[in-house]
């Protein structure tokens, strides 16, 4: 009787062991043929993807009508941009300038009256830039580091006035001229490359809509939006 009980117990142990072993094999081999080594089931490391970066920049603001709408959309998309503002408009809308700063955007100098610096004397050009610097510093507490000369025109044979770093652009869809959202979007998507600076204006409804569409579409293509200082100096 004891011998029979021993056989029964041994048989039960063997059955339980086989069951547990089968569970273990199913766990390691789930979704993949077993090669007999647990190391084979460690997920393979994926190669890191290269991040493509572009800087979205807006000239000629702030606009009482459209800049607020643009800031709303940028905040919703968690995108930081660079605004090259005109001094006299900044003076009229300090609330928008403060909001740009508070929400992490970079503010640059675009002269006080939107004048063509290359046609001015050195003294006049420096005055245009200094006036805007003083306005922006009085609003934000910080003096601008970057400037964009209107029409991309300044005296390239000398240092930029007022110790500002000039910032131009690589992609210009002429949004101020065409004022057509689809045309602007098509131009940007066709010409943009990694490391580019895109020029737009926050003075037109079509440009604001185009900016949002480009952000959404370029993000899908793996682009990351950064400010000009991040793009230029990492």
Q: Which residues are annotated as catalytic?
A: 59, 201
CB neighbour list of residue 6: distance below 8 Å, 6 or more residues apart:
none
- Phi/psi-derived region of residue 70, left when phi > 0, alpha when psi is between -120 and 50, beta in every other case: alpha
**Where do runs of H (alpha helix) occur along the chain?**
2-29, 67-77, 87-92, 94-102, 122-140, 175-178, 181-191, 205-220, 228-233
User: Could you identify the residue written with the tokens 């952000």?
Assistant: 215
The count of C-alpha atoms lying within 13 angstroms of the C-alpha of 188, restricted to the half-sphere facing its C-beta, is 29
């Amino acid at each position: 009787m004891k011998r029979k009980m021993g056989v029964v117990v041994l048989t039960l142990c063997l059955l339980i062991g086989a069951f547990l072993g089968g569970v273990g094999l199913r766990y390691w081999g789930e979704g993949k043929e077993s090669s007999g080594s647990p190391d084979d089931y460690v997920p393979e490391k994926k190669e890191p993807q290269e991040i493509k970066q572009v800087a979205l920049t807006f000239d000629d603001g702030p606009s009482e009508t459209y800049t607020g709408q643009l800031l709303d959309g940028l905040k919703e998309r968690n995108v930081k941009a660079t605004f090259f503002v005109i001094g006299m408009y900044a003076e009229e809308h300090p609330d928008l300038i403060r909001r740009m700063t508070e929400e992490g955007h970079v503010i640059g100098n675009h002269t006080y009256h939107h004048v063509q610096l290359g046609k001015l004397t050195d003294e006049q050009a420096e005055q245009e830039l200094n006036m805007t610097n003083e306005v922006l510093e009085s609003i934000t507490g910080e003096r601008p580091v970057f400037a964009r000369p209107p029409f991309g025109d300044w005296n390239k044979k000398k240092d930029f006035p007022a110790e500002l770093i000039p910032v131009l652009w690589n992609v210009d869809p002429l949004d101020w001229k065409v004022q057509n959202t689809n045309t602007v979007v098509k131009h940007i998507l066709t010409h943009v490359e990694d490391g580019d600076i895109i020029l737009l204006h926050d003075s037109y409804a079509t440009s604001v809509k185009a900016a949002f569409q480009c952000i959404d579409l370029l993000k899908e293509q793996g682009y990351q939006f950064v400010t000009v200082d991040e793009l230029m100096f990492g």
